[in-house]
């Protein structure tokens, strides 16, 4: 690669240059060349890249797929696609047509592109060491079936996905069998289904992303050793919407995230050994729903503020640990002034258990009857799981 760069040529493409089309330029180019594509609209069908070149867009060249084609297909390593506006890919329910698709290779770099009205946006298939950075993806599918995923990756390794904005796709970022990947500073907003969706994607990290107003929030499944830090999960509202759905997630860390105004902040199912630390749960319907299939999870130093229910469960959660969290509903006292409450806090209220079993009971939310029952139950727990408690609740919110 370095040797190639030394005598790399630059080919200019545009209406005022001898080379008029990108396909022509690709025929002329050798490995390591740079192709500079100047402003204008290019309708060239499918542009298949079989040479290790850098495609650089100058003045926003528009690549139009005319609702029929896959605009860019990358088959070789060390390809860069930078600065293009890629619009109107084909749509198909048989083939996954994407605006930019990378097939079985490595070191592809896709950055600073604007992708508009495509089926899939950027599709990485069986590839390694690819960078997807600072792209803007927008789709307008009416239903989940009519639109593909924004950044879709399958069976890949060591990707770097950063600074992208994904709006209106099916899933914002979708990863399946993708390992050692970093997903950072992305915004997934108003996507039809999930903002982030991954399965069997071990040892990945998600940092400083924002997932807002997605149809069903974020769903992550069947994965080990995930790190999720400093992300924002917000405004995911609806019957089946979660800030974050954890299904069979093990040995993972969820730290310094903000969960605000979701129907359910986190829903955990079959998840073990997850550390949930220093997160902010604010204004959610349910801050945390933990099914009894979860064990050995540890929740410490989280803030629970203005949630309708702090915790709901269908079991006793005996095997999980809640300690040193701040609960705004805590009414205990701190005589020895160590900033930890002297009486334990029970985050599950009787009413939240009733609602879990009989959703219609929500009809009685905040009625005296219910308040009375909750109070009595909190003083003398008989129906709520007795061991489910925070033994050292914080008196003041934890500084995050």
Partner 1 sequence: MNKIIKYVIADLLRSRAILVYAVVLFVLAGSVFSIEDNADKGVVSLLNIILFVVPLVSIIFSTVYLYNSAEFIELLVSQPLKRKTIWLSIFTGLAGTMALAFLIGVGIPIVLYSFTPSGMILLLCGTILSVVFVSVAMWAAVRIRDKAKGIGLSILLWLYFALLFDALVLFILFQFSDYPIENGMIAVSMLNPIDISRILILLQVDLSAMMGYTGAIFRNFFGTGWGMAITALVLLLWVAVPAWFSTRFFERRDL
Sites of contact with partner 1 (CB under 8 A): 237-239, 241, 261-263, 283-286, 306-309, 354, 357-372
If the CB atoms of residues 95 and 375 are measured against partner 1, the closer one turns out to be 375
Instruction: Please report which helix (H) or strand (E) contains residue 46, including its range.
Output: none
What are the CB-based long-range contacts (under 8 Å, 24+) for 140-143?
Answer: 140/168, 141/168, 141/169, 141/170, 141/192, 143/192
Q: Least distance to partner 1 from the beta carbon of 357, Å?
A: 8
DSSP 91-155: --SSS--EEEEEES-B-EEEES-EEES-SEEEEEES-BS-EEES-EEE---SSGGG---SEEEES
Q: Least distance to partner 1 from the beta carbon of 241, Å?
A: 8
CA distance to 61, 67, 134, per residue, from 41 (Å): 6, 14, 22
Which token pair is 57?
């867009």
If the CB atoms of residues 91 and 192 are measured against partner 1, the closer one turns out to be 192
Q: Least distance to partner 1 from the beta carbon of 346, Å?
A: 19
If the CB atoms of residues 360 and 380 are measured against partner 1, the closer one turns out to be 360
If the CB atoms of residues 145 and 306 are measured against partner 1, the closer one turns out to be 306
Length of the chain: 400
If the CB atoms of residues 55 and 241 are measured against partner 1, the closer one turns out to be 241
CA distance linking residue 320 with residue 336, whole number of Å: 27
Q: Least distance to partner 1 from the beta carbon of 345, Å?
A: 19
If the CB atoms of residues 140 and 358 are measured against partner 1, the closer one turns out to be 358
Question: Is residue 5 helix, strand or coil?
Answer: helix
348, 388 Cβ separation under 8 angstroms = yes
Which token pair is 116?
């508009």
Q: Least distance to partner 1 from the beta carbon of 366, Å?
A: 6
If the CB atoms of residues 123 and 326 are measured against partner 1, the closer one turns out to be 326
Q: Least distance to partner 1 from the beta carbon of 202, Å?
A: 32
| DSSP 8-state secondary structure symbol assigned to residue 96 | -
Q: Least distance to partner 1 from the beta carbon of 282, Å?
A: 10
């Amino acid at each position: 690669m370095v040797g190639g760069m030394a005598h790399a040529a630059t080919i200019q493409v545009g209406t005022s240059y001898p080379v008029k089309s990108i396909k022509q330029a690709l025929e002329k180019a050798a490995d390591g060349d740079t192709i500079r594509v100047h402003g204008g609209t290019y309708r060239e069908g499918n542009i298949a890249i079989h040479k290790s070149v850098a495609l650089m867009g100058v003045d926003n060249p528009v690549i139009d797929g005319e609702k029929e084609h896959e605009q860019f297909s990358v088959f070789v390593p060390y390809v860069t696609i930078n600065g293009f506006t890629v619009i109107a890919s084909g749509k198909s329910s048989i083939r996954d047509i994407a605006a930019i698709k990378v097939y079985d290779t490595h070191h592809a770099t896709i950055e600073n592109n604007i992708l508009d009205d495509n089926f899939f946006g950027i599709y990485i298939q069986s590839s390694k060491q690819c960078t997807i950075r600072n792209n803007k993806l927008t789709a307008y599918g009416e239903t989940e079936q009519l639109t593909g995923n924004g950044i879709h990756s399958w069976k890949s390794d060591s990707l770097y996905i950063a600074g992208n904005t994904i709006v209106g796709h099916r899933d914002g970022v979708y990863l399946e069998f993708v390992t050692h990947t970093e997903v950072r500073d992305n915004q997934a907003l108003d996507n039809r289904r999930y903002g982030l969706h991954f399965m069997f994607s071990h040892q990945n990290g998600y940092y400083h992303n924002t997932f807002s107003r997605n149809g069903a929030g974020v769903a992550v499944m069947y994965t080990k050793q995930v790190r999720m830090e400093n992300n924002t999960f917000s405004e995911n509202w609806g019957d089946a919407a979660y800030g974050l759905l954890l299904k069979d997630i093990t040995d993972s860390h969820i730290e310094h995230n903000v969960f605000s105004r979701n129907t359910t902040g986190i829903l955990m199912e079959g998840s073990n050994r997850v550390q949930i630390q220093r997160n902010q749960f604010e204004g959610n319907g349910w801050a945390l729903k933990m099914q009894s299939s979860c064990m050995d999870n540890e929740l410490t130093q989280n803030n629970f503020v203005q949630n309708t229910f702090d915790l709901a469960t269908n079991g006793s959660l005996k095997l999980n640990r809640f300690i040193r969290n701040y609960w705004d509903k805590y009414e205990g006292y701190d005589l020895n002034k160590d900033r930890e409450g002297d009486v334990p806090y029970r985050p599950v209220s009787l009413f939240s258990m009733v609602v879990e079993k009989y959703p219609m009971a929500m009809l009685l939310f905040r009625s005296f009857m219910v308040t009375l029952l909750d109070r009595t139950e909190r003083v003398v727990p008989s129906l709520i799981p007795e061991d489910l408690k925070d033994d050292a609740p914080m008196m003041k919110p934890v500084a995050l």
